[in-house]
Structure 1
Amino acid sequence: MKELNVILSDFLRQHFYNIPLESPLFYNSSVGLRFELGMPNRGVEHASYFTNILLRSIMIFREIFDTDEQMLITIKRFRCIEPYKCSNQGEEVFPKYMKDKELIKQVSSIELKKHYEENGDLSGITYQHILLCNIKSIDYIGILKAKAHQDFAIEPYISDEVFFINLHKHIIFYMYDDRGMDLISESKGALLPIYEKYNSWILAYDKERIDNIFMS
């Protein structure tokens, strides 16, 4: 079997014209959806704020991933050379959110980029971690909940970028924080049912662009 980083690279090249797997994912793709997760006009002081985020993200996630279907989870994590300088790192996704802890042996990790201070000193390194698994072997609900908390440092929280990739449907799911979520695909047909079913959740700022994609 190919190494997971090769599978990911081949997938992005064949289906997404080799776009960068990074935020803002929606603007990197010609076909995509951007959903608002937090309740409009309601602040984080309301208990229902995070409840609504989790509900919306889970509902859309389950539209994309079937129980026994394999997916790639890709994590981008920045590590400080001097950890005390990075106070908002959050929890590591692997192995924290693995239901099957044996899967940690199957995680593929590579160094993506070195970061330097203005004086030339190394400040940190961005790593990419990839796992091939299915819904039953990962606590995806826990991951979505922790992503919603990232800007508030509410435990538990994840500050890493987490991409869920459906290799069969050619859809990438990316929740960037409590504000919203991006879905992209190589064809609008794969996302059209989600566009129609959850149309009222589409982020108003990008709705005109999205409508032009799916109504043309």
Structure 2
Amino acid sequence: MRDKLRVESYLKEHFPNIPLESPLFYKAPIGIRFELGVPYRGLNRREYFTYVCLRASMIFQEVFKPEEDMIVVVKKYRSIEPYICINQGEEVFPKYIKNNKFVDQVDSVEIEKYVEADGELSGISTQQTLFCKANDIDYMGMLKAKARQDFGVLPFISDGVFFINAKKNIIFYMYDDRGLDLVAENKESLLPLYKKFNDWILNYDRERINEVFMNKNS
């Protein structure tokens, strides 16, 4: 609970009224939505997932340096028999923690219980929080697993995973193989990424994004 409260306090100060949930980009005034996958989505082309993970990892490495402090927040829902969902995926922690000293430092808090009309419990949502450094976790494995979440091929992660750089005040959220969102407290933090990865910006939202980063008064 302590770490959850620390995150809530941080978000209230730097990202007020922006909940850690999808679609993150549309909930924030300053952000970039990047396209990761080519138009084709499928399992029979290995290069598709290679390309998705390459883009995601390159952006991640620009936001988080190996020795920088980070906060990892995992929002997850787990259904209970007989309401088990087939696409729940695998647990993020402790599988993707490389530094074993952090395994016992994951703060897990129940957020909400879901009850059917007849009063039977159908599922529980929880939030897991970990304060660590970027090189303490297997972020590459996590990005690869997020890329597979819609295809049902293990290992895949269906939970919402939010990486926070509390020094730069940037939140990194890969929603699936199609794309990822970066949101920030101020546009100066994202301007280098806007310029470096401009060709990867999702064209559907490009006009809105350009208005933020090309407007000198915003």
Q: Is the 8 A contact 1:38 1:52 kept in 2?
A: yes
Which is further off, 81-90 or 11-20?
Answer: 81-90
Q: Say if 2:192 is the partner of 1:182.
A: no
**Greater than 6 Å deviation, 4+ residue runs:** none
Q: Say if 2:22 is the partner of 1:23.
A: yes
> Offset of 1:204 from its aligned partner?
1.0
| Mapping of residues 66-145 of structure 1, within 5 Å | 66-82=65-81, 85-145=84-144
Q: Say if 2:146 is the partner of 1:147.
A: yes
CA gap 1:176/1:83 in 2 versus in 1, 3 angstroms: farther
How far apart, CA to CA, are the structure 2 residues paired with 1:28 and 1:206? 13
SS where residue 76 of structure 1 aligns? Answer: strand
Q: Is the 8 A contact 1:76 1:128 kept in 2?
A: yes
The residue type equivalent to 2:171 in the other structure is: I
How far apart, CA to CA, are the structure 1 residues paired with 2:203 and 2:213? 15
> Offset of 1:83 from its aligned partner?
6.5
* Per-residue CA distance 1:47-88 (angstroms, 9 max, x = gap): 211000000000000000011111000001111121662111
| Mapping of residues 44-59 of structure 1, within 5 Å | 44=42, 45-59=44-58
SS where residue 208 of structure 2 aligns? Answer: helix
CA gap 1:140/1:83 in 2 versus in 1, 3 angstroms: farther
User: 5+ unaligned residues in a row in structure 2: which ranges?
Assistant: none
Q: Say if 2:4 is the partner of 1:8.
A: no
SS where residue 7 of structure 1 aligns? Answer: helix
SS where residue 85 of structure 1 aligns? Answer: coil
* Per-residue CA distance 1:106-148 (angstroms, 9 max, x = gap): 1111111111223332211100000001122100000000000
* Per-residue CA distance 1:176-200 (angstroms, 9 max, x = gap): 0001000000111000110011011
How far apart, CA to CA, are the structure 2 residues paired with 1:109 and 1:131? 9
TM-score (structure 2 length as normaliser)? 0.94
How many residues align? The count is 214
How far apart, CA to CA, are the structure 2 residues paired with 1:136 and 1:154? 26
The residue type equivalent to 2:10 in the other structure is: F
The residue type equivalent to 1:149 in the other structure is: R
The residue type equivalent to 1:31 in the other structure is: I
SS where residue 176 of structure 1 aligns? Answer: strand
SS where residue 131 of structure 2 aligns? Answer: strand
Q: Is the 8 A contact 1:5 1:130 kept in 2?
A: yes
User: 5+ unaligned residues in a row in structure 1: which ranges?
Assistant: none
The residue type equivalent to 2:136 in the other structure is: S
- Identity among equivalent pairs (%): 54
TM-score (structure 1 length as normaliser)? 0.95
Which is further off, 138-147 or 149-158?
Answer: 149-158
How far apart, CA to CA, are the structure 2 residues paired with 1:160 and 1:202? 24
Q: Is the 8 A contact 2:52 2:147 kept in 1?
A: yes
Q: Is the 8 A contact 1:9 1:18 kept in 2?
A: no
How far apart, CA to CA, are the structure 1 residues paired with 2:104 and 2:151? 32
